[in-house]
Amino acid sequence: KNEVEQSPQNLTAQEGEFITINCSYSVGISALHWLQQHPGGGIVSLFMLSSGKKKHGRLIATINIQEKHSSLHITASHPRDSAVYICAVGRGAQKLVFGQGTRLTINP
Amino acid sequence: DAGVIQSPRHEVTEMGQEVTLRCKPISGHNSLFWYRQTMMRGLELLIYFNNNVPIDDSGMPEDRFSAKMPNASFSTLKIQPSEPRDSAVYFCASRTGTGDEKLFFGSGTQLSVL
């Protein structure tokens, strides 16, 4: 079993829909990261969080340390949100363990 | 700031050749990471440096891989000799501090070993 599991692996939705991507992990962590990888391949760090919730524009990330679970939400989704979203957990020092990613496609 | 700069963007080489990937971190960042991304294994940490010193290279696949950081503004990842299974996208990333700060990624180097 992978240390970091994301669901769903693929998600297709219509523009405007509310999107939720989930990340579960099985080890103790110091922080959790959400990354966005654009179709062109570049990777952008969206959030780094160790508790509670963070919001940036239409993106919201939450984490429940007790349940070892995090969610990334996108409100009013748009085709430009189409990307691969990757969850990564920090386990001491600076090592990140990555999930396999969720491929999101938003159709106009 | 120009962000993390990697070169080349694309590299096509033949099996057995030496490959050198280059990275310039963001100025002021004192941690640098090399990652490899493949379809099968996703993103994997190869090695990271703090203040130019290699801290953990346990992710380096084998002795054919080596990485250096001669100063705070430059790092290289070398593969010698290269093999087809080394084909992947190699990302460099940097960040401030040595804790759980946000990572900044370069655009990656797409390596194809024929």
Q: What is the pLDDT of residues A52-71, one digit of tens each?
A: 999 999 999 999 999 999 99
Q: Which burial class, exposed, middle or buried, applies to B73 when counting CB atoms under 10 A from its CB (0-12, 13-18, 19+)?
A: middle
- Cα A36 to chain centroid, rounded: 8
Q: Which of A25-39, A67-81, B79-93 has the lowest mean pLDDT?
A: A25-39
CA–CA distance, A55 with A11 (Å, rounded to integer):
21
- CB atoms B42 and A96 under 8 Å: no
The arithmetic mean of pLDDT across residues A38-47, rounded, is: 88
CA–CA distance, B44 with B91 (Å, rounded to integer):
10
CA–CA distance, A107 with A28 (Å, rounded to integer):
37
Q: How far is CA B32 from CA A82, B16, B87, in A?
A: 28, 27, 22
Q: Is the pLDDT of residue B97 over 90?
A: no
Q: Show the tokens assigned to A98.
A: 């990555």
B100, B102, B107, best to mutate vs chain A, most A CBs in 10 Å: B100
Q: Which residues, 6+ apart, have CB-to-CB distance to B19 below 8 Å?
A: B11, B13, B78, B79, B80, B82, B86, B111, B113
- Cα A44 to chain centroid, rounded: 11
Q: Is the pLDDT of residue A93 over 60?
A: no
Closest CA to B47 of B85, B76, B72: B76
Residues present in chain A in total = 108
Query: Could you tell me if B74 and B98 are in contact, meaning their C-beta atoms sit under 8 angstroms apart?
Result: no
Query: Could you tell me if B101 and A94 are in contact, meaning their C-beta atoms sit under 8 angstroms apart?
Result: no
Q: B105 to chain A, minimum CA–CA distance in Å?
A: 6
Reported as a single tens digit per residue, the pLDDT across B31-56 is 999 999 998 888 999 999 999 999 88
Give me the pLDDT at residue A28, please: 78
CA–CA distance, B106 with B33 (Å, rounded to integer):
10
Q: B41 to chain A, minimum CA–CA distance in Å?
A: 8
CA–CA distance, B91 with B104 (Å, rounded to integer):
10
> Given A31, A99, A101, which is nearest B100 (Cβ)?
A31
| Pairing assessment for the beta strands A10-14 and A102-107 based on DSSP bridges | parallel
> Given B33, B42, B102, which is nearest A101 (Cβ)?
B42
The arithmetic mean of pLDDT across residues A13-26, rounded, is: 96
- CB atoms B43 and A33 under 8 Å: no
